[in-house]
Amino acid sequence: QVQLVESGGGLVQAGGSLRLSCAASGLAFSLGWFRQSPGKEREFVAAVNWNGRSTKYADSVKGRFTISRNNADNTVDLQMTSLKPEDTAVYYCNAGDGVVATTTPGRSWGQGTQVTVSS
């Protein structure tokens, strides 16, 4: 099983930017980010395929968030810009079970990192 450790969360004002990073130990194919707000189900945010050339985004973050991966050091980043209060959530890194970017989570999760956007 892949071990995933997120970093980079924090508090930011609306309109600001944050960059999340996730370090993966072990072989990871597709990688993705999900988020969960209080009282809501965990939802898909973004995913990238095994070689970084194909990505998927939730409609709510398209044009504002960018996912990228570096296979040399086994990391995946989520650059978040134009943040909104509704982006407030715990963000989780996920390792997919296949090679393609997918909205379906795999079995391996990180511990999560809190992102809070103030209005």
Per-residue pLDDT tens for 61-77? Answer: 999 999 999 999 999 99
Q: pLDDT, tens digit, for every residue of 95-114?
A: 988 889 999 999 999 999 99
Strands (E), 26-88: 31-36, 43-48, 55-57, 65-70, 75-80
Can you tell me the distance from the alpha carbon of 4 to that of 23, in angstroms, rounded to the nearest whole number?
6
What is the reported pLDDT for 108?
93
Both tokens of 39, joined, read 């009282």
What is the reported pLDDT for 14?
98
Beta bridge partners, 44, equal 34
Percent of the chain with pLDDT strictly greater than 70: 100
